[in-house]
Every structure is written in structure tokens, then in C-alpha cells.
Chain A
Amino acid sequence: MRIHPRIINRIVEFGLNIQAFFTVGILVVIVAIIFFKGFPYVNPEFIFAFPDDMGRHGGIFPSIVGTMQLAFLSIVFATPLGVGTAVFLTEYTRESTFTKLIRFGVESLAGIPSILYGLFGFIFFVIKLGMGWSLLAGVLTMTIMILPTIIRTSEEAIRSVPRQLRIVSYSLSATKWETIKKVIIPAAAPGILTGIMLSVGRAVGETAAIIFTMGSSLRLPLSLMDSGRTMAVHFYILAREGISMEKAYGTALVLVLSILSINVLAYYVMHKAISKYS
């Protein structure tokens, strides 16, 4: 019995609709579970208190601070390196074997899974360079991890700055660097910022690379050589050791909310940029 193609078409369309909603549904369910299960436990005390009894009681303040320190410092290191590389690739060279080589390097870095970054960071920063489990080791590892993202998004942003702007700047007697500094980077700023924010999101959620470089001390990191936890690491330990379901959900909520708000912020910046130039 041959079913008419138009009926098949209808069935397929219906099925695909369901599929799409199902996929979005997964996201909604995940966020909803975290939100509703974690909400009761998140209050100012949770955010600002120190963990007590391995995290069974108290709050997650040190891990929040640790996360912010890690994200902030990684951005501080990775942004000049990444934007600089992007500027070099777009403004200072034409496509050549040299640029292809650099792009190969960047793409390869992007493809390395986080556990291998953890392994590298552990042997290189923690052991060989003697930093021990420390904020610094974590930051340096994280910097390399987010570098490809920053390079990619910055390059795209810089390339989409209209060519005529460069021409105008040069014709007004600006040098290459002056043009880059005063015209191109400000024009590419929204795209670059978006890349930065995506990287922050990654840094906040990363666990495998951090736990073996920054460690998992419950203390508040007061110096670069101190070990500490990020929220993701703290959450993992709470869950793995079965220390406290409630605190785990609470931590998960703060974690997911942070990432969500960073994503929203990134969208906002992107949209503002698009409206500014249209």
C-alpha cells in the first residue's frame, strides 16, 4: 500500500514540529529543575557565607569569589593575546603559509578536550613550574583554553568593519596602528566583547581542567598561589561525595544563573551593536 506523498509530508512536518519542541523542552526542563529545586536554598546567606563541614552547611562564598577571580584574570591575559592575534591576522598579513600555520594552531587548540588541558596544566604549571595547585595555574590553563574563542570572534568582528572606514582613517594621515586603535577596534568592540563573554561563560562552567590545576581548597584564594574552588568544582565535589543535595542544587542554580545572565548580556551587546550601525 503506497501512502500518498502529501500525507507523508504532513506526518513528517508534524513529527519535526514535535521534535523541535521536545529539544527546547529539554532545555526548559533542565533549567526548571535546577531553578525549582535550588531556589529554596539560595539566599543572601548562601551566597556570602563560607562553607561549613565540607560544604554540608553554610554557603559558597569562596567558590563564587574563586570563579570570579579565575574568569577575570583569564580574560585579562587572553584578551590582549587573542585580539592581538586577530588584528595581526587581518591587518598585518595576507593569507599565506604563515597565517595558515597560525590558524592551524588556533583550531587545534580549540579541539583539545578539557581533561587534556587539565593534564597539561597539571604537569606543566602545577608540577614542572612548581606553582602547585593554585589560582595562577588555573588562570594560565584557562587562558589557553579560551584563547581560540577570542581569536575567532575577534577576527570575525574585525573583518566585518567596513573597508571604507580604514580608507578614511588612512587618508586623514593616520598610521596603521592609529587606525587600528582608534577606528577598527572600537568598531569591532561589540563582536569582541561577545567573544569575551562567551569565554567567561566557559570559564565559569569548566571543571575538568580546573580541578587539576587550581585544586579544590575550601579557603578563599587571597593570592595567586593560593588554591581555591570554582562553583563548578564545588558543585562537582558536593555531588560526587554526596555531601548535600540541597547545597548542590543551590550551587547549581547560582552556577546556571550566572552563565545564563552572561549569555543574555552577550546577546544584548550584540543587538545594541547591530542597531548602532544600521
Chain B
Amino acid sequence: MIEKSLFKERLVKWVLVLFALSSLLFLFLIFMFIFSEGLPLFLKVGLFKIIGGSKWAPTKGFFGIFPMIISSFLVTFGALVIGAPMGLSCAIYLSEYSGKKMKMFLKPALELLAGIPSVVYGFLGVIYIVPLVRDYLGGSGFSLLSTSIILGVMILPTIISITFDSLVSVPRTYREGSLAMGATKWQTIYKVILPSAKSGILASFILGMGRAIGETMAVIMIAGNALKIPGSILDPLRTLTGNIALELSYASGDHRLGLFSTGVVLMVIIMLLNYVANFGIKRKIAK
């Protein structure tokens, strides 16, 4: 009787070990398959011809994705320009100014905002933002600007929640000390709290960037799908994610391999971003 239950306990433990290892297994599989499909083209055509090449015509042997790399960074930066100030202010409001009622109202609102699918954002962007840009600023409306606006809104929940967490973890004594010395609330925030929460805020920006650079559906609906580096914020563009999403369903042979190479580049960029973000968060914890 006792032997049977001991056996069962051991069995359970090993099953759970396997379950836990499954995450590593999946990660390994994902890396392996994307890299195994994506790396050959780098060897065949040449790393710099792909990363540095400006012409993307895969059926004719041109796999240059440099404009898309630039475009990915541009929309990410643009999203940050739009989303960071708004997100920071909102987080400051939430942590320093709002009462309990407001908090209870705003937090679920943020989660709802985060839950809206990117295709819906993209759709609304096409219907409302694109014509707005077209009519008041020029161009076709499908542009870096429109994309940045929509992406900025999409990364708001990420920036707000992480910044909020950093702000509330600043010790109360800092605030009280500053106010006791006669500073106003804003002065306290500006001179004491924000600097103290600096690395957390930075981490939120970087994570927001990570989200923006990986965003696909909204981007392909609004960005316009041009293969050149955008000359102005009103010009259309194509990102790395867009490159994959727009052509995967009909690509074959080397063309398809080119899309996987695009995926490899995207993966490396995101890994770097995550690494930097984690580094920043670790510094915050160390403080």
C-alpha cells in the first residue's frame, strides 16, 4: 500500500518535470525551425546583401530587407514618440493623483484597451486615422505617421502598467521627505520620484518598443506596403513583420526562405531588446 503511493508520488514528480521542460522544448523548436529555414539564404546570398540590400524582389533573386529594418525601427520610434508621453503622464496621474475610485476604474479600462485585437485597431486606423492624415497633411494617408499613432495607442497599456508599478514602488519616505521640505507635488514628482523610478520607466519604454516592433496586423493595414525607406512621415512603408505576413501565403522556394530570413532578423532584434529591458529591470531591483 505504501509502496504504491510512493511510486505514484515519484511518477507525478517526473511527469511534472517533463511538463516544465516542455517550455524549453518549445523554445528550442521555435528557434531551431526558424533559424534552420532562415540561415541558409544568409549563406547562399550573403549576410550583407540581405541586411544591407535595398531591393526586395525575391522571385528575381533580390532579398534586400534594409528598408524594412529601418521602417520597423521608424514605426517603433514613432510609436514611442506618441505613446511614451501619454503613457508616462497617465501612469503619473494614476499613481500620484488619482483616488481609489479612479484607480478602480482606470485599471480595468487599461486591461480592456490591451485586450482589443490588433486587427480592430488596424481597421479603425484605416477608417479614421488614414483619411484624417490624407485630408489634412497630404499623401495617401497610409503612412509612417498613421502607423505611429495607432501603434502608440496600442503600446499605452504596456507603458502605463510598468511605469505605474515603478512609480508606486518608490518608497513613501521619498515623497514625504520632499513635501516636508516645502516642495510642491509636481516638484516632488519631477525631482524625486521620476529619477528614482528611472530604470523602471526606461524598461517600460523598451518593452513597449518590443511590442511595437513585433506588431503585425495593424501595421500591414495602415502602413501602405511600400518597399522603399520612407522619405517623410507621410510616406508609406513596409516593416519586417509586414514583409512576412504579406507574402507568406503564396511564397515558395527561395522566396519563402527569404521570409524566414526576415524572421531571423526580427527575432535577433527582439532578443536584443528583451535582453536590454531585462538588464534595465534587474538594475531597478538591485537598487
Contact = CB atoms under 8 A, between A and B. Distances in A.
A24 B33 contact: no
Interface residues of A, number: 77
A159 to B, nearest CB: 16
A94 interface: no
A92 B263 contact: no
Contact of A9 (B156, B185, B217): B185
Nearest to B37: A123
A137 to B, nearest CB: 13
Contacts of A201: 115
Given A13-B185, A112-B270, A232-B119, A24 B109 contact: yes
A248 B124 CA distance: 11
A165 interface: no
Interface string A95-137: 0000001100111110111111111101110001000000000
Contacts of A19: 86, 89-90, 93
Contact of A8 (B33, B105, B111, B186): B186
Contact of B90 (A20, A112, A207, A252): A20
Interface stretch (A48-56, A83-91, A183-191): A83-91
B1 interface: no
Given A252-B120, A255-B117, A260-B112, A92 B16 contact: yes
Interface of B: 5, 8-9, 12-13, 15-17, 19-24, 26-27, 29-30, 33-34, 37, 86, 89-90, 92-94, 97-98, 102, 105-106, 108-109, 111-113, 115-124, 126, 128, 153, 156, 160, 183-187, 210, 213-217, 221, 241, 244-245, 248-249, 259-260, 263, 266-267, 270-271, 274, 278
27 contacts: A16-B92, A19-B90, A20-B94, A30-B113, A30-B124, A34-B120, A81-B19, A84-B20, A87-B16, A92-B16, A102-B23, A109-B27, A111-B270, A112-B30, A115-B214, A116-B267, A119-B259, A119-B260, A120-B29, A123-B37, A128-B33, A177-B8, A205-B116, A207-B216, A207-B217, A256-B116, A263-B111
Interface of A: 5-6, 8-9, 12-13, 15-17, 19-20, 22-24, 26-27, 30-31, 33-34, 80-81, 84-85, 87-89, 92, 101-102, 105-109, 111-120, 122-124, 128, 144, 147-148, 151, 175-177, 201, 204-208, 211-212, 232, 235-236, 239-240, 248, 252, 255-256, 259-260, 263, 267
